[in-house]
A and B are shown apart, each in its own frame.
Chain A
């Protein structure tokens, strides 16, 4: 089945230690997004790639970076995680912003 895959499902990192979350898709969608969802809150868009074009939301901290080496993969890098970065990170894909499909998420814990 075509899908969005996120690895790992659970990630524990130490305060200030860089961490990378990964996302892959078999849908051949041209747009890939990263959302942050804190407990009991709605998902919040961090940034997205429209094909190879990177689009950053204005209020996304510089601590968050992303890479998309090819159509299928997208990475979220957190350069120096703080306690406030503990959250669920959701990857999503779409074809020209139609029919967003979400992955299962990676829950990040910062110790």
Chain B
């Protein structure tokens, strides 16, 4: 089956630092999504990417859909305490088909005061 390799597994950073995480896949996807999940809650969509090479920003967040369609990265600039949480990448197929999303194992972001 498809596998997503998400790295790093965890990050310990200082407030104000920039953050970068990425996902790679053994298969091609035509959708890459980035979610943030807080404890006891469902994942919240941060950025959705639907085209190879697409670079999209949402406030301090920037994500790119790799040109090979097998990878994506998420950058967070000038981190703040509320950025703490688990970030998941997810690959999928839009426009019909039989599959939902395949998730990476998550990146646990911890911000040290």
Contact = CB atoms under 8 A, between A and B. Distances in A.
B41 A96 contact: no
Determine the interface band of chain B, counting residues with CB < 8 A from chain A.
20 to 34
> Which size class do A's interface residues fall under?
20 to 34
Given A33-B100, A45-B100, A105-B41, A97 B106 contact: no
Among the interface residues A41, A45, A97, A98, which one has the most CB atoms of the partner chain B within 10 A? A97
B94 A98 contact: yes
Interface string B68-97: 000000000000000000001010111111
Prevailing SS type, chain B contact patch = loop
A100 B92 contact: yes
Contacts of B33: 100
Interface in B37-76: 40-45, 48, 50
Interface in A1-26: 4, 6
A90 B31 contact: no
B105 A97 contact: no
Nearest to A46: B100
Q: What 10 A-B pairs come out closest when comparing CB atoms?
A: A42-B103, A102-B42, A45-B100, A98-B94, A97-B94, A105-B42, A33-B100, A104-B42, A102-B43, A48-B100
